[in-house]
Structure 1
């Protein structure tokens, strides 16, 4: 009987410790915005037509504050304490309204924030 209580106690401490570690390392919204900007700069810029892909990284760098606002407005965050779930819908038109005459894509992203990192597990081009 004592051994089963000891095992249960150790298991409980491990579970509580893991939960506390997850909660303390759950990334914040600001970190997600930086992550999203880097994904736009590194991945989405490559998808742009007509040589815009070459200008895009500089555009992202020069307009970080404005782009963060757009990302925040188009992202729904669900915070579960030990991890966060982010669902983002972005269109290139919302990022660069001056290019509205071009057939530009929009994207849907689903991301999990866990242990201080982000894991993009779904990205759809529309």
Structure 2
């Protein structure tokens, strides 16, 4: 009987330790914004900038990359304004809606698509579980 109580106590202590560890390592909104800024920057530089058009015979690829690099704080502000955090103590869900209307409300929204991202934050890490073009 004593060994059963000891096993039960050890098991309970382990579970409590795991739950406490998850609660402490639940990523903050600012950690998510940093992560999302890095992800968006990488995507823009590797997928969008290489497709930049030529203007007067000159590729705008380098200018695009420079523009992305020099506007990191603006990109992070856009992500901050476009993200909702759902905090479940042990983990968080982040839902981000990126749209041209967030940058320029007067720009016709039907000219460019908007994007939705769902991200799980747990243990100081982020896992994108949903991406959708709308």
TM-score range, shorter chain: 0.7 to 0.9
In the comparison of the two structures, how many residue pairs are matched?
126
In the other structure, the counterpart of 2:16 is 16
The TM-score with structure 2 as length reference comes to 0.77
The residue aligned with 1:43 is 43
**Alpha-carbon distance, 1:104 to partner:** 2.1
C-alpha contact 1:23 1:81 (8 A) present in aligned 2: yes
Alignment of 1:1-126 (within 5 A): 1-44=1-44, 46-47=47-48, 51=52, 55-92=63-100, 94-95=102-103, 103-126=111-134
CA distances 1:5-60 after superposition (whole Å, capped 9, x unpaired): 11211111111110111112111111111111122122255257961676544333
Q: How much has 1:93 moved relative to structure 2?
A: 5.0
Q: Which has the larger radius of gyration?
A: 2
CA distance in 1, matches of 2:49, 2:7: 57
5+ residue gaps, structure 1:
none
SS in 2 for 1:124: strand
Does structure 1 conserve the Cα–Cα contact (< 8 Å) formed by 2:49 and 2:65? no
In the alignment, what sits opposite 2:57? Answer: none
CA RMSD of aligned residues (A): 2.9
Deviates more, 1:7-16 or 1:60-69: 60-69
Query: Structure 1 length normalisation: TM-score?
Result: 0.81
Unaligned runs of 5+ in 2: 54-60
